[in-house]
A and B are shown apart, each in its own frame.
Chain A
Amino acid sequence: VNGIAAALIVIVIVVLVVIVLIWAVALYNGFVRLRNLVQEAWRQIDVELNRRHDLIPNLVETVKGYAAHERGVFDEVSQARAAASGGGQSPAQQAASENMLTQALGRLFAVAEAYPVLRASENFQQLQLELTNTEDRIAAGRRFYNANVRALNTKVESFPSNIIAHAFGFVRAEYFETDDPAVRAAPQVSFGDGPATPGAPTA
């Protein structure tokens, strides 16, 4: 009888260990999946940020064609763009650089406001529209990225998943926050009434 009882205890312990192992493996795989999602979402933001940076030289050149003497603003935009497009930045650093760039662009658009012929220029309108569209893409990418970061961070901090996180070195990810109202705003789209009025980025 004692032998049967001992065997039962061993079986129960083995079953419990197997259950705990399955749970740990599932949690570990969940962490890996979330971490990869965060990285993938960040790469998507990076693509959109590059697209934004690529538009800026054309925009500056177009404004220069009408307001060449506003050199200070052009230099500011160029410096902010160079800082933002420098690689190897963390999401928080990138967000700070993008905010600086947005402020510089706001001043560029403020300059453009004083030149009605420039504002009426088809090329300028097209660039402005493309910039707005790119910022909508960045806004959508930022929301997707932050949603994945939120899911990862919640899992890293929650009990009992934090045990696995601690054991295997899964850490909190950084949010990508922006102060730019144009990027923060909900995307806008117009149907049927011609091109929507593009919202210039504002400081």
Chain B
Amino acid sequence: VLRGAFEGVPAVSFTYRWTTGSGRQRTTHACHVVVLDLPAFLPTVQLTPDGLGAKLTKAVGGQDIQFESDDFNRAWRVESRDLPVAHAIVNPRLMERLMRSDASGESLRIEGTSILSWAFGATDTGALARRLGLLAAVVHAIPRHVWQDHGYDPMTDQTIRGNS
């Protein structure tokens, strides 16, 4: 587990391993998870690449919130129970950022007071800065009114975050 700060925000990187099957069929999987702290508790919003698996899941009723960009809708699957918050967070600026090549294939999730991304495979420290940068970009794209609605105002809290 790696702990530290990115742009002044507490961050953690670790490898999550789990095993499936038993006996000869036993397989261990690994996932590199990168986590950045959030200043307030936000509703869960998940963004994953809109691949074949996502399409199959959607075919049997899986959620995919649609936005005004067709390219974005084709590239990303967005899930959340809080639709207004999802629309506020996934705004045009964030959509443009997520359509850049360095965001391609990433899986992102806002969960409580954390935002995290994960990728299959062992920890890749070479990709750490890029992935933390992407998480920070998502955090910066969250509008002030979303924070205010969840008990935090970035303009009155000087201890936070980024741009440093």
Interface size class of B (residues with CB under 8 A): 20 to 34
Query: Which residue of B92, B142, B159 contacts A189 across the interface (Cβ within 8 Å)?
Result: B142
- Whether B144 lies near A189 (C-beta < 8 A) is yes
Most buried by A among B94, B155, B160: B155
**B:108-159 near A, CB below 8 Å:** 139-148, 154-155, 158-159
**A:159-203 near B, CB below 8 Å:** 186-196
- Whether B91 lies near A143 (C-beta < 8 A) is yes
Say whether B32 faces chain A, with CB atoms less than 8 Å apart: no
- Whether A144 lies near B8 (C-beta < 8 A) is no
Residues of B within 8 A of A188 (CB): 93, 143
Minimum CB distance partner of A134 in chain B: B145
Minimum CB distance partner of A135 in chain B: B145
Which of the candidate stretches B20-28, B40-48, B49-57, B82-90 sits at the interface with the other chain?
A: B82-90
Residues of B within 8 A of A37 (CB): 83
Residues of A within 8 A of B88 (CB): 140, 143-144, 187
- Whether B66 lies near A195 (C-beta < 8 A) is no
- Whether B87 lies near A192 (C-beta < 8 A) is no
A26 smallest CB distance to B (angstroms):
11
- Whether A187 lies near B162 (C-beta < 8 A) is no
Minimum CB distance partner of A151 in chain B: B66
Say whether B19 faces chain A, with CB atoms less than 8 Å apart: no
- Whether B67 lies near A136 (C-beta < 8 A) is no
Minimum CB distance partner of B159 in chain A: A192
- Whether A143 lies near B145 (C-beta < 8 A) is no
Contact flags A122-161 to B (C-beta < 8 A → 1, else 0): 0000000100010011011101101100110000000000
Q: CA–CA, A52 to B67, complex, Å? A: 25
- Whether A194 lies near B91 (C-beta < 8 A) is no
- Whether A190 lies near B145 (C-beta < 8 A) is no
Say whether B163 faces chain A, with CB atoms less than 8 Å apart: yes
Residues of A within 8 A of B87 (CB): 140, 143-144, 147
Say whether A44 faces chain B, with CB atoms less than 8 Å apart: yes
Q: CA–CA, A150 to B73, complex, Å? A: 14
Most buried by A among B140, B141, B144, B147: B144
Q: CA–CA, A187 to B91, complex, Å? A: 8
- Whether A187 lies near B66 (C-beta < 8 A) is no
A190 smallest CB distance to B (angstroms):
7
Do A194 and B158 contact each other (CB < 8 Å), given the known contacts A140-B87, A150-B66, A187-B91?
yes
Q: CA–CA, A189 to B88, complex, Å? A: 13
Q: CA–CA, A141 to B148, complex, Å? A: 15
- Whether B163 lies near A192 (C-beta < 8 A) is yes
Query: Which residue of A136, A144, A194 contacts B144 across the interface (Cβ within 8 Å)?
Result: A136
Residues of B within 8 A of A190 (CB): 154-155, 163
Q: CA–CA, A44 to B87, complex, Å? A: 13
- Whether B143 lies near A144 (C-beta < 8 A) is no
Say whether B101 faces chain A, with CB atoms less than 8 Å apart: no
Q: CA–CA, A139 to B145, complex, Å? A: 11
B residues with a Cβ closer than 8 A to A are 8, 65-68, 83-84, 87-88, 91-94, 139-148, 154-155, 158-164
A-B contact pairs, 13 of them (CB 8 A): A129-B155, A141-B84, A143-B68, A143-B87, A144-B87, A146-B68, A186-B94, A187-B93, A187-B143, A188-B93, A191-B161, A192-B158, A194-B158
